[in-house]
Each structure stands twice: as C-alpha cells, then as structure tokens.
Amino acid sequence: MNIPNQPLNQKILKYLITVLIVVGSIWSASGLEITPDRIFSAPGKIWILISAMFPLDLSQEAIDRIVPKVAESLFIAWAGTVIGAIFSFPVSFLAANNVSLNSLSRMTKQVLNIIRAFPELILAFVLLPITGLGPLTGTLAVGIHSIGTLGKLSSEVIEGIDEGPLESIKSSGGSKLNELFFGVVPQVMPTITSYWLYRFEINLRASAVLGVVGAGGVGAELINQLRFRDFPRAGTVLVVTIAMVLIVDTISASIRRRIIKGREIKV
Amino acid sequence: MTDTLFDPKWEWAFENASQALLETIQIAILASILGCFIALPLSFYASKATNQTTTTYIIYKSFLNFIRTIPDLFWAMLFTVAVGLGPFAGVLALVMFSMAIMGKLLSETIDSIDLGPLEAAKASGAKHNQAVFTSALPQILPNFTAYFLYIFELCIRASVILGLVGAGGVGRIIETQRIFLRFDRISPIIVLILFAVIAIEQFSVWLRRKIL
C-alpha cells in the first residue's frame, strides 16, 4: 500500500504550533506565580467555599432583596439589546461593502471595531462620571457594546446575501432604496433577528456583572455578600441568577431555532 | 469630574500599567489554552454523534450548560474568595469561561460531523475511542483551531476586567484609581488597553488566515 508522506511544511507548522502552545503556557504560568501546590490545593479550597454556601439563605428578607436585583439585570439586558438592535441595523448597511460605498464601508467597520474593543465594564467606567451610579449607566454600556458586535455580525450577514433578487429589482426599474427594502432586508432579517436574541443572551450575563462597578444589576449584591463573608446569601444570589439565565437561554434558544429552521412539520 | 477624563497622564500610565497589561495577556493565554484543551475531550462526551450512552451524554451536556450560565466575573469573585486574591483566581475563572464556550461550540460541531469515517474505522475493528480519535478528531480540528483563536480574543477582553474584583491584571489598577476618582489616570490606561486588544485581534485574524 502506498501512503503519501505528509508534506514537510505541514509537519513544520504542526511542531511550530505545539511549541508555541507549550512555550506560551509556560511563559504565562511563570509570570503569574502559579506553582504546583497552589494548583493541587485549589479544588479543596473551592469545595470549602461551596459547602459554606449550603444550606442556602432562603429567608423572606433575602428573597425580597435579591429577586428585584436579578430582575433589574434582566431589564438592563433587554433595554441594552434594544438599543443595540435599533442603532446597529442602519449602521450594518453602511458597513456592508456590497450595498454601501467602499470607503464608507471601511470607515464604518473601523468605528465598529473600536466600539467592540471596549468591554461593557470599561464602558460603564467611562460612563459612570457622566450618568452616575445606577442601571442607566449599565444599560448604556450594554447598548453601546451591542451596537459594535451586532453591527459587525449584521454587516457580515448582509455581505453574504444572494445578489439575484437585487438585480431583478434593478432590472424592473426599482431604485437603490427599493433594492434595500425588498431585496436585502427580507433575506437578512431571520439571521439578524436570531443574532439579536443571541446578543440578548450574552447581554444577560454582561448585565449581571455590571453591578460590580455600581452600574446596576445583581453583581453588586454578590460582591457585597462575598465581602461580608455571608456565604449562604451569596449562594442564593448565584442560584437565582443561574435559574434566570437558564430559563431565558432556553426560551431564547427555542425562538431562535423556530426563526432559523421554521416550524417543524411532522410527516 | 469628567474634565479629568480628557486630560490623560500618559507617563504615569506607561510606568505603572505596562506590567499589569502583560499580566493580563498572560492570564488570557494560559486560561484559553487550558480551558480549550480541557473542553476538547469533554465535548466528545457531550455530543450525540460520539457518545451513545444517554446518561453520560446528559450529564456532560448539562455540566457544560451549567458552567456557561455563570458570568466570567462571577467565577472570578468566587475563585478570589476560594483561592485568594491574585492572577491565579483570574486564570481559574477564565478557564471555566473558555471551557464553557469551547464545550458548547465544539460539541455542536461534533454533532454535525460526517459519520462515515467513524463507521469505517469501527468496521475495520477499531474500538470506540480509537474510532473517535482517528476519524472524528481530524474532522473537527480546523474548527477547534478557529474557535480557539476566537476564545483567545474573548479571554483577552475578559481578562482586562478581572482585576476589578481582585483577580489580577490591568483591571486592578483601574479599580484603585477609580476609588480615588483619578479619571485622568484611568483614561490613558483604557486607551492602552484598546490598542493592545486591537493589536492582538489583528494578530489572531492573521494567524487564522495563515492556519486555515
């Protein structure tokens, strides 16, 4: 039997990647003072923390404090996603190089890149002195970051459309605007809507942590309980947050599946 | 208060933040490598295509779903309490974070692999693990590489903010300066982070084009 040899440059690439990964992790680990005994003692310490959380603090007072905070995170995520969706939709048309001018598209993409480079928490930092402590700052931070990510994703969807419908609209006398409305939008809407929902799921996690810097949501509650070493209550915060995220994820995922795949027809 | 935001102290930022920025990058490198390589075997167990045992499939799948529900900074808070302040907690938090994302992306990719090679390997006498290793793994390696680079980018972004809860990296400096309301020191650091993140992202895009 004749088995062809692996090309040499592929072999070199393989070893190069392996070396890169090994050297990278050793260099990083040495810079971070990670020693074997810290690694081996970590599981035990984590177990101590987990066992300190149970039984959970389910007193009425705790529930009354935690549930509104979790709901606030949900509201921030939803409002932020709406802001992101509304603003990113027109921007994504500007950024797509097949429907927009070439130079304009490149410029818009750079702006979107810059927006995306700031994590929500850093944005919240910048906004804190302007809009003050509270959920408004969190909503704006989540919204602005969503414009960046949704704009990029949506413009890529628009770039991948089928040009046929556009041509037929043009040949039957439609204007450039007609092309956008009747050629592009119907093609991209299902995918973009599912991206909006997907972004909502991500924003939910982002808004949960925004409270750490005082921008509203459940994060402040968790960090305070951990600081005061009130582990049962911290455990309650965690469990309520996880439950909320799981529920929202499940609902959103099923809606997304319905949008992309259509109704399942039983034969 | 906002005036100082636009009066950046550049020299101070270069002197004090560059070391922490390096630490941030190291956390991201180590955590994304560890997280992705732990998730690699797990995702084979969390896919219907390569794991026919329903009970273990459900266990692995729901384990991955569960760790995905906890946001990265929550992990960081928990680990700082458990193993103490510092970058080690940050690495652990990001390992969980990248493991969760890789597990989800990869197990869904494995769901849609071509089952032919797997069957062929089994027909010629391979055990289940051997068949998976020789015929399922090569199919998903390109995806794994692409996801790895994507997760590395996510980790770079996430590691910037870890310091806010004391889990190492450049966020620690931002947090201390924020307490003193020194926005003139925070703004140059944020610009530095911006440049570092964009540079790393460009590098990763270049690498992806080179490898794939």
Query: Which residue of B97, B152, B161, B181 is the best one to mutate when testing the A interface, meaning the one whose CB has the most A CBs within 10 A?
Result: B161
Instruction: Copy the structure tokens of residue B203.
Output: 């590098």
Count Cα neighbours of B211 within 13 Å in the Cβ-side half-sphere: 20
Residues of chain A in contact with residue B8, where contact means CB-CB under 8 angstroms, are: none
User: In chain B, which residue's Cα lies nearest the Cα of A35?
Assistant: B88
> What's the rounded mean pLDDT across residues B71-85?
88
For an interface test with A, give the residue of B1, B30, B152, B202 to mutate (most A CBs within 10 A). B30
pLDDT digits (tens, 9 = 90+) for A210-251: 888 888 888 888 888 888 888 888 888 888 999 999 999 889
Please tell me what DSSP assigns to residue A218: T
- Contact with chain A for residue B23, Cβ under 8 A: yes
Cβ separation B164–A241 shorter than 8 A: no
Chain B CB within 8 Å of residue A217 CB: no
Mean residue pLDDT across chain A: 86
Please determine, for residue B12, whether its predicted confidence score (pLDDT) is greater than 80. Answer: no
Put simply, the answer to whether A241 touches B66 (Cβ < 8 Å) is no
Choose the closest CB to A21 out of B33, B69, B181. Answer: B33
Q: Which two tokens stand for residue A257?
A: 């599946």
Q: CB-based contacts of B156: which residues, under 8 Å, 6+ apart?
A: B24, B25, B28, B196, B197, B200, B201
ipTM of the complex, rounded to two decimals: 0.80
In order, the DSSP letters of A84-136 are HHHHHHHHHHHH-TTTS-HHHHHHHHHHHHHHHHS-HHHHHHHHHHHH-SSHH
Q: Which residues of B touch A48 (CB under 8 A)?
A: 82
Please check the confidence at residue B1 and state whether its pLDDT lies above 60.
no
Q: What is the pLDDT of residues A127-181, one digit of tens each?
A: 888 888 888 999 999 999 999 999 999 998 998 888 888 889 989 998 888 888 8
Long-range contacts of B46-51 (CB under 8 A, 24+ apart): B46/B103, B46/B107, B47/B107, B47/B108, B47/B110, B47/B111, B48/B111, B49/B110, B49/B111, B49/B112, B49/B113, B49/B115, B49/B118, B49/B136, B50/B110, B50/B118, B50/B132, B50/B136
Number of Cβ within a 10 Å radius of residue B52: 9
At A74, the pLDDT band (50, 70, 90 cuts) reads: very high
Residue A48: which pLDDT band, with cuts at 50, 70 and 90?
confident
Q: What local confidence, expressed as pLDDT, does residue A6 receive?
A: 66
- Report how far residue B158's alpha carbon sits from residue B167's, in angstroms, rounded to the nearest whole number: 11
Checking if the pLDDT of A11 tops 80, the result is no
Instruction: Compute the average pLDDT of residues B200-210.
Output: 82
Shortest CA gap A59–chain B (Å): 22
Using a CB-CB cut-off of 8 Å, the residues of chain A touching B168 are 32
For residue B3, pLDDT over 90 is answered with no
Number of domains forming the structure of chain B: 1
| Average pLDDT in chain B | 86
Residue B194 maps to which CATH number?
1.10.3720.10
Tell me the C-alpha distance between A91 and A105, whole Å: 10
What pLDDT sits at residue B2?
58
Per-residue tokens: A11: 């072999």
Domains of chain A: 55-261 (1.10.3720.10)
A32 shares contact with chain B (CB less than 8 Å): yes
Question: What would the pLDDT profile of A103-140 be if each residue is shown by its tens digit?
Answer: 999 999 989 988 887 778 888 888 888 888 888 999 99
Tell me how far apart the alpha carbons of residues B87 and B177 are, in angstroms, rounded to a whole number: 19
Distance CA B89, CA B79 (A): 5
Indicate the pLDDT class of residue B203, thresholds 50, 70 and 90. Answer: confident
Average pLDDT over every residue of A86-111: 90
The whole-angstrom separation of Cα B131 and Cα B124 is: 10
- Would you tell me which residues 184-203 of chain B have a C-beta closer than 8 angstroms to some C-beta of chain A? 186-187, 190, 193-194, 197-198, 201
* Burial category of A198 from C-beta neighbours within 10 Å (exposed 0-12, middle 13-18, buried 19 and up): middle
CB-CB contact of B155 with B94 (8 Å) = yes
Q: What CA–CA distance (Å, rounded) separates A223 from B161?
A: 14
Domain of B71, in residue numbers: 3-211
The pLDDT of residue B103:
92
Note whether B134 contacts A: Cβ–Cβ < 8 A: no
CB contact under 8 A, B65 and A246: yes
